[in-house]
Structure 1
Amino acid sequence: MSGVSKSQVSRLCAELDERVGAFLNRQIEGDWLYLWIDATYVKTREAGRIVSVAVIVAVGVNTEGQREVLGIKVGASEAEPFWTEFLRSLNRRGLRGVKLVISDSHEGIKAAAAKTLKATWQRCRVHFMRNVLAYANKTQRRMVSAAIGTVFVQETPQAARMQWRSVADQFREKLPKLSAMMDAAEHDVLAFMGFPRAHWPQIYSTNPLERLNAEIKRRTNVVGIFPNDASITRLVGAMMLEQNDEWSLNRRYMQLEGLQTLSDTVPTRLSAVAR
């Protein structure tokens, strides 16, 4: 930095660390009905080696239809203990009222969510489609995708389940592994249909987190290799704080229709961080 002394840089970093720390450790108030969780990977130095570490992000929507970044964590892997500790840290800060957790099919996430949150689990529909299409060859994938797509245009959960099973049976002879995967995934992929229809477009996948992860990836790629985990937390935490401020100025993310009927308590509004 031209014209900026080391002491000034140190002071600015300390101020940023304080703001990010306040944001990431703030008390979570009210009911957060929907929770999206996902991870991306960045590189850091550890004991003289370059390693990949997971950066996990949790975004929630409350009873007023507002969304916020509720927490981030940097760690060595996406193993179950890592996710469990992260979700427990959210609980300690006051997270409550979660009815649906949306993530990919990572077993660590699923197991940790089952341990720490009394909530339904939604397997991301987009990730599922990628997984299931791996059992079809290139010439079959468009046909398979179109067939499974007919499930999601059904008007009711009952009709969707019937269509799901019909599509699975359609492929049972020629693509038995694909059909078996559909059999195993039915409940988890269609879980979102047990919630208000107005919310379906936002809760069937982790898409609400995809843009955040893409921006994290873009900004961390500029850095390349981080000196330590604290520097990752500083950068990503500052990005999430900035994102939260932007969201607070926008109209509500989700329609109020059905939100308060899911809540166990009277809704309470939370400011993202003390200013």
Structure 2
Amino acid sequence: MTHLQFNLDLEVLKESVMNSDIDAVIKSAVVLVLNEVMEKERNDYLRVSPYERSEDRRDYRNGYYERELILNIGRITLKVPRTRNGEFSTSVFEKYARCDQALVISMLEMVINGVSTRKVTQIVEQLCGEAVSKSFVSSLTEKLDPIVKGWANRPLNTRYYPYLFVDAMYIKVREHHKVVSKAVYIATAITEKNTREILGLSVDHEEDYECWSRFLQQLKSRGLQSPQLVISDAHKGLQKAIQREFVGTCWQRCNVHFKRNIFNKLPKKDSTDVRMMVKRIFEAITIEDIRIFKDELISQFGNNSKYEKALAILEDGFEDTIQYMNYPEKIRPHIRSTNSLERLNQEVRRRERVIRIFPNTQSAFRLIGAILMEYQESIYAKRKSLMH
């Protein structure tokens, strides 16, 4: 059967909402594409194309019904295909509405709480075509919140995750009439089959030992077994929490963060050779070479006071930063840093900037959870396409 390939750049379309009137042609194009996607989904479900005869036929076509969908380009009406037995269900509404609804809800809550700007109010009117009321917000959140919460609390005991990545980022939230910073905790992992998965999300007051312990305990309560290796930055509270919650698990200090910490302590002038030797250490293929290159660096520059602080950092964090060398060579490039999680954080930040200040903690959890769900589904889709 024919495969449809298309990209909906919703950020570009949203920009057109903010800066100009919505072009009817754009809406029509999106409607045509999504209608065609749903038609293909029904064909795939039935296992036959229109007017085709086949013994593999699962059911019969039964016309269409209209359903509205709110996207960043505004409200559109789609023709949803039906089947006679009523068991066919399209993925379009779940796939494209969830993250956008989370964004809409956050904006609506800003308006209701009186913290919106004129532009936000205009965007809300364009997005929703509805009067902004608490009942309207409630009707949206009642549908979306259980989906996000269900995903965030799903069991983790169905498979083993040998490599766990954890990190925190900060957002701004309005609380008791004040704007405060809150920490967003995110955990991802690599499975035994070397596939990536987003495991958990939490929003807490700050990044400290107690908060990290709560987050790791939450993952364990959902069935997460102690991983072989946890990869993170060198936050003291996080290190302590890992030792307490995952007894016997090794800790890998993020290679990228570690080198950055060393370079920040080097003088800007006359440090080219030292920087090159630091890079050479972590580009080595064997753990023996890593140790040899490190000893050569210390031997050559250890008595130079200009490099004292940088080399002290190297000595102190060296062993924690080369733990990845104890694992199979193929997996090493993927577990020596938190780069994959950093990219995920950037995707969250890209959407979070639209809001800037969340109206409440639940709004932050809802939007970030929906973004993570969308990101995970894109990973699954990419993996599935590669298999075929």
TM range (shorter): 0.7 to 0.9
Does residue 221 (structure 1) correspond to residue 353 (structure 2)? The answer is: yes
**Corresponding position of 2:323:** 191
Contact map agreement 2:277 2:293 (CA 8 A) in 1: no
| Corresponding residue for residue 188 of structure 2 | 59
Instruction: Report deviation, 1:115.
Output: 0.7
Could you tell me how far apart the structure 1 residues matched to 2:336 and 2:345 are? Answer: 18
Give the Cα separation in 1 of the matches to 2:258 and 2:362: 33
Q: Which amino acid is 2:129 matched to?
A: G
Question: 1:15 and 2:147 equivalent?
Answer: no
2:208 matched to 1:83? no
Pairwise CA distance, 1:8: 4.3
Paired residue for 2:129?
A: 3
1:129 aligned partner, one-letter code: K
Deviation string 1:134-156 (CA, Å, 9 cap, x unpaired) is 22111244432211111123231
| Identity value in percent | 36
Q: For residues 95 and 141 of structure 1, do their structure 2 counterparts lie closer, same or farther at Cα, with a shift above 3 Å needed?
A: farther
Deviation for aligned residue 1:97? 4.5
Q: Relative contact order: is structure 1 or structure 2 higher (C-alpha 8 Å, sep ≥ 6)? A: 1
CA distance in 1, matches of 2:260, 2:210: 26
Aligned to 1:268: none
Structure 2 SS opposite 1:198: coil
Q: Secondary structure at the match of 1:55?
A: strand
Report the residue type matching 2:155 in the other structure.
Q
List, as ranges, runs of 4+ consecutive aligned residues in structure 1 with deviation greater than 4 Å: none
Q: Is the 8 A contact 1:161 1:186 kept in 2?
A: no
Q: CA contact under 8 A between 1:165 and 1:183: conserved in structure 2? A: no
Is the Cα–Cα contact under 8 Å of residues 83 and 109 in structure 1 kept in the other structure?
A: yes
CA distance in 2, matches of 1:211, 1:158: 31
Aligned equivalent of 1:245, options 370, 377, 385: 377
- Rg: which structure is higher? 2
1:1-275 matches, within 5 Å, as 1=125, 2-4=128-130, 6=133, 7-28=135-156, 29-117=158-246, 118-174=248-304, 175-251=307-383
Conserved? CA contact 1:68–1:244, under 8 Å: yes
Instruction: Please say if residues 168 and 182 of structure 1, whose CA atoms lie closer than 8 Å, have aligned partners that are also in contact.
Output: no
Instruction: Output the amino acid matched with 1:51.
Output: V
1:4: Cα distance to partner? Answer: 3.2
Q: Distance in 1 between matches of 2:138 and 2:151?
A: 20
Q: How far apart are the structure 2 equivalents of 1:92 and 1:211?
A: 27
- For residues 56 and 141 of structure 1, what CA distance do their matches in structure 2 show? 36
1:170 Cα offset (Å)? 2.4
Separation in 2, partners of 1:246, 1:60: 16
Amino acid at match of 2:153: N
- RMSD over aligned CA atoms reads 1.6
Distance of 2:299 and 2:142 partners within structure 1: 60
Q: Say which SS state the counterpart of residue 383 (structure 2) adopts.
A: coil
SS of match in other structure, 1:57: strand
Show CA shifts across 1:183-233 (max 9, x none).
111111111111111011111110001111111112111101111111100
For 2:17, the equivalent position in structure 1 comes to none
Of 154-163 and 110-119, the range deviating more from structure 2 = 154-163
CA distance in 2, matches of 1:238, 1:99: 29
Cα distance in structure 1, aligned partners of 2:349 and 2:319? 32
- The DSSP-based 3-state class of the residue aligned with 1:188 is helix
Letter in 2 for 1:71: G
**Does the residue aligned with 1:98 lie in a helix, a strand or coil?**
coil
Instruction: Structure 1: give runs of 5+ residues left out of the alignment.
Output: 253-275
Normalised by the length of structure 1, the TM-score is: 0.87
Structure 1 SS opposite 2:184: strand
What amino acid is aligned across from residue 354 of structure 2 in structure 1?
V
TM-score, with structure 2 as normaliser: 0.62
| Rounded Cα–Cα distance in structure 1 between residues aligned with 2:175 and 2:136 | 27
Q: Which moved more, 1:88-97 or 1:141-150?
A: 141-150
Residue 54 of structure 1: SS of its match in structure 2?
A: strand
